């Protein structure tokens, strides 16, 4: 094949590839639009169903329409202990506006016998869930305790805070943000 024809052929192939790329691109930006579950800001919060120490089951997807704080903690964790009174304070303040706090104990890494005394000591009134098999820890890529996920009313994650303790200002700002989110 002549060099000139080869260049024309390569140019045509390149041009056809570029046309294909631009013709098939998602111009709306909504191919996933964060609608796939991932433990990251802007994505759907991975669903889970966990039980309380009394056997009641909570499923995250059933709380759609509510603003949810998922706080993963353990009784032996000093930052977890430090932020619990603040979380309880804001739960009491914003519960009537639709805030749900789910305190998820990393039970696979904790002593189950310490959980109820911990809850009593800190006067926690929000639901305490037990992650006995580390299923939630795996879904949420748990690397550090405490870890908090602020979930909008539409089920997407508004913010992720790894480590702690969270400051009052950060906690209040993130809670107010998810409370203002539309339910869609």
The CATH code of the domain that includes 128 is 3.40.30.10
Predicted TM-score (pTM) of this structure: 0.80
Are residues 106 and 42 part of one domain? yes
What the block records as the tokens of 153 is: 């009313």
Q: Where are the beta strands (DSSP E) in the chain?
A: 49-51, 57-59, 67-73, 99-105, 128-130, 147-151, 157-162
pLDDT at 113 over 70: yes
Q: Is the domain of 96 the same as that of 112?
A: yes
Count of domains forming the chain: 2
Mark whether 8 and 67 lie in a shared domain. no
Range of the domain at 45: 32-180
Tens-place pLDDT, residues 141-173: 999 999 999 999 999 999 999 998 999 999 999
Report the run of H or E that residue 10 belongs to, with start and end.
Answer: helix 3-24
In this structure, the answer to whether residues 19 and 55 fall within a common structural domain is no
**For the chain, first and last CA: distance in Å?**
60
Please check whether residues 37 and 64 belong to one and the same domain: yes
- Mean pLDDT across 32-36: 57
What is the model's pLDDT at position 28? 53
Using pLDDT thresholds of 50, 70 and 90, give the confidence band for residue 36: low
**Are 63 and 13 contained in the same domain?**
no
Angstrom distance (rounded) from CA 44 to CA 35: 6
Same domain, 37 and 112: yes
Pairing of strands 57-59, 67-73: unpaired
């Amino acid at each position: 094949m002549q060099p000139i024809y080869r260049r024309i052929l390569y140019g045509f192939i390149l041009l056809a590839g570029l046309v294909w790329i631009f013709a098939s691109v998602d111009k709306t930006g909504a191919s996933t639009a964060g609608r796939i579950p991932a433990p990251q800001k802007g994505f759907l919060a991975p669903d889970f169903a966990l039980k309380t120490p009394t056997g009641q089951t909570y499923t995250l997807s059933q709380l759609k329409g509510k603003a949810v704080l998922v706080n993963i903690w353990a009784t032996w964790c000093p930052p977890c202990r430090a932020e619990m009174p603040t979380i309880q304070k804001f739960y009491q303040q914003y519960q009537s506006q639709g805030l749900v706090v789910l305190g998820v104990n990393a039970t696979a890494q904790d002593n189950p016998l310490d959980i109820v005394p911990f809850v009593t000591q800190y006067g926690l009134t929000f639901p305490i869930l037990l992650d006995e098999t580390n299923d939630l820890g795996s879904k949420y890529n748990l690397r550090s305790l405490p870890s908090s996920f602020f979930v909008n009313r539409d089920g997407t994650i508004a913010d992720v805070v790894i480590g702690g303790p969270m400051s009052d200002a950060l906690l209040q700002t993130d809670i107010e943000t998810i409370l203002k989110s539309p339910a869609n």
